[in-house]
Structure 1
Amino acid sequence: TYDMYQRGDYYGVLINADTALSRYPDDQVIPKFQFLKVLAIGKTEDIMVFTQALDSLSKSTPDPEIAERSKAILAYILDTDKEVKTETEKIEAEVMYTADTTGEFYYGLFVRGSMDVNQLKFEFINLNLDVYPNRTIDVSHEVLGDGVTAVFVKRFNDMEKTWEYYDHVFRSQEIFDVLEGTEYRLFIISAGNEGILINDGVANKYWLFFQKHYNRNEADTDTLDR
């Protein structure tokens, strides 16, 4: 089967691999057949099908070497093909996150770039005192991957009140003065999804989910270079 792959007979590889998988599912060489099948998929299908096959194999194979090789190829594709990375993150986000519309929500802000996070939190606290003088609203931040800091303002009883607060922030010159020179995105997030975001650490993945399920399309809410 490997010789067939070397000769470019990729459909032959797919047939042989499927035959081996059906006849000898518990054989110790099956992971190698699975890997050859995925490589043949890369030659016969589009890039998204290939990346999904690599991701699936890296998570399911019992062979650590095959898993690492699959991850390495996948990482290379995602690093070099921005469109594939975005489409992959969209798929992952749909699996990870839930399009909640009820329950507690938080206001959120992704920021990349040099800023005084304490000053930013101070401006949020001042805004909170102006808008909700009789309520205690917490402001926290988390450092995510890719140099992004996530700021959260908690907590609001429902999505509608969170959007109201979002609009107050949108009109706050003091907050945007602190953000000057940075790249940022404004969003809202449910309490359940916030924990998933922090654990995952990938801002863009949640942003893609937010764009699909929640965004009201304000043009000035996204300056973060994707």
Structure 2
Amino acid sequence: TDSLIKISDQKTALALLEAGKIYYENFSDRKRAVETLETISRRFPGNETEPEALYNIYKIYRDDNNNQMAEVYRQRLIEKYPDNEFTKSITDPDYYAKRSVVAKEAERLYAEAYNAYTTGNFSLARSLCETGMEKYPKHELTPKFVLLKSYCTARLSDEKAFRDELSGLVKQWPGTPEAARAAELIAFLDQEIPELKIEEYKEAAREIYTDDKASPHIFALIIMDPLFNINQATFDIISYNIDKYTNRNFRTSGTLVDDKYIMITVSGFKDLGEALEYFSALSVEREIRNQTGAKMIRFLIGTKNMEALEKDKNPERYNVFFLENYPEAAVKK
């Protein structure tokens, strides 16, 4: 899938970057270092590692007193990544000194906001966090400001507003400790107040999915356990179809999606009416052997919305859309 290719490319680019730095710093092999680092630009143009690769090539030529080639890579870095910190470090002699001042100012502001929060002045703490987010939008302390602001929201507003801010943090700052903490809090809220998650899914689903009832529909069974026996589940559906729909040539297939969940699909319905009849007749508990008690979701989905689901990769969110937009479907287990 595209996502797996991106992950593989990123790992390769990072490995090339580290290898190039090792060739130069540990073995003083300038030629191999430059060749390895240049591979990033050639194979993965625009990758987040490219600015650092170009910077290191510039530095290698500069240290070797090859000013002509150093200038070539200096210009490439400036032209392609004018706002990158590696670019700023070679265009502004005072860049790191300025960055140190900014860091101290951000730390002081965060300490002030945290102190206001711990002493119960949540309005002031929230205001200081908003100031920090505005003044330092890309600073390493920014996700801390965002998380602290969400804590203030929890004190000043309701659970929905709290969850909304946590969700924003997870989306905007993935991979940070603050995003991980936000995800934990979201999971807790969803367990304690499940309607919050449903409401968020409804809002998001309206942006992702459309009224697709005119297109051919597919029945989908989602098994939220990637380790579930996919062959057994597919066989159970095929056996059900042979037993109940002898004269129909339904097509059944099973797919593991991103190692997160299994999707069993049935297609070949004459129209939405037949798909609805199939949906209402199939009892998942009766027909699917589920010894592990895996969570299962089932719905009908049009071909256009299936394309959207393949990008969104969140069947629970689509299911909320389905339940809201297909009232004619008798929701049975």
Asked if structure 2 preserves the Cα contact closer than 8 Å seen for 1:109 and 1:186, the reply is: yes
Q: Secondary structure at the match of 2:306?
A: helix
Shift of 1:65: 2.4
Shift of 1:75: 2.5
Asked if structure 2 preserves the Cα contact closer than 8 Å seen for 1:138 and 1:155, the reply is: yes
CA distance in 2, matches of 1:56, 1:103: 34
CA distance in 1, matches of 2:136, 2:256: 47
Shift of 1:79: 3.3
The one of 6, 18, 30 equivalent to 2:142 is 30
Query: For residue 152 of structure 1, what is the aligned residue in structure 2?
Result: 265
CA distance in 1, matches of 2:282, 2:175: 54
C-alpha change, 1:58 and 1:179, in structure 2 (3 Å) is: closer
Query: For residue 166 of structure 1, what is the aligned residue in structure 2?
Result: 276
Q: Secondary structure at the match of 1:15?
A: helix
C-alpha change, 1:203 and 1:26, in structure 2 (3 Å) is: closer
Query: For residue 240 of structure 2, what is the aligned residue in structure 1?
Result: 123
2:200 corresponds to 1:88: yes
Structure 2 unmatched ranges of 5 or more: 1-112
TM-score (norm 1): 0.71
Asked if structure 1 preserves the Cα contact closer than 8 Å seen for 2:136 and 2:142, the reply is: yes
Query: For residue 301 of structure 2, what is the aligned residue in structure 1?
Result: 189
CA distance in 1, matches of 2:130, 2:118: 18
CA distance in 1, matches of 2:137, 2:279: 58
C-alpha change, 1:203 and 1:12, in structure 2 (3 Å) is: same
AA aligned opposite 1:138: R
C-alpha change, 1:186 and 1:22, in structure 2 (3 Å) is: closer
> Aligned pairs, how many?
212
2:133 corresponds to 1:21: yes
Q: Deviations over 1:81-110 (max 9, x none)?
A: 322233233333334333323333213345
Larger Rg: 2
Shift of 1:80: 3.4
Question: Which has the higher mean CA deviation after the structures are superposed, 136-145 or 1-10?
Answer: 136-145
Query: For residue 332 of structure 2, what is the aligned residue in structure 1?
Result: 222
Query: For residue 178 of structure 1, what is the aligned residue in structure 2?
Result: 287
C-alpha change, 1:21 and 1:188, in structure 2 (3 Å) is: closer
AA aligned opposite 1:212: E
Asked if structure 2 preserves the Cα contact closer than 8 Å seen for 1:106 and 1:188, the reply is: yes
Asked if structure 2 preserves the Cα contact closer than 8 Å seen for 1:110 and 1:184, the reply is: yes
AA aligned opposite 2:250: I
AA aligned opposite 2:287: V
Asked if structure 1 preserves the Cα contact closer than 8 Å seen for 2:219 and 2:300, the reply is: yes
Asked if structure 2 preserves the Cα contact closer than 8 Å seen for 1:144 and 1:202, the reply is: no
AA aligned opposite 2:179: A
Asked if structure 2 preserves the Cα contact closer than 8 Å seen for 1:31 and 1:63, the reply is: no
CA distance in 1, matches of 2:151, 2:206: 26
C-alpha change, 1:57 and 1:118, in structure 2 (3 Å) is: same
C-alpha change, 1:96 and 1:171, in structure 2 (3 Å) is: closer
2:172 corresponds to 1:55: no
Asked if structure 2 preserves the Cα contact closer than 8 Å seen for 1:24 and 1:30, the reply is: yes
CA distance in 1, matches of 2:217, 2:117: 52
Shift of 1:57: 1.4
Asked if structure 2 preserves the Cα contact closer than 8 Å seen for 1:108 and 1:189, the reply is: yes
Shift of 1:216: 0.7
Asked if structure 2 preserves the Cα contact closer than 8 Å seen for 1:78 and 1:85, the reply is: yes
Shift of 1:50: 0.9
- Report % sequence identity: 20
Query: For residue 251 of structure 2, what is the aligned residue in structure 1?
Result: 138
CA distance in 2, matches of 1:177, 1:61: 43
Shift of 1:189: 0.6
C-alpha change, 1:8 and 1:165, in structure 2 (3 Å) is: same
AA aligned opposite 1:99: D
C-alpha change, 1:111 and 1:215, in structure 2 (3 Å) is: farther
C-alpha change, 1:214 and 1:45, in structure 2 (3 Å) is: same
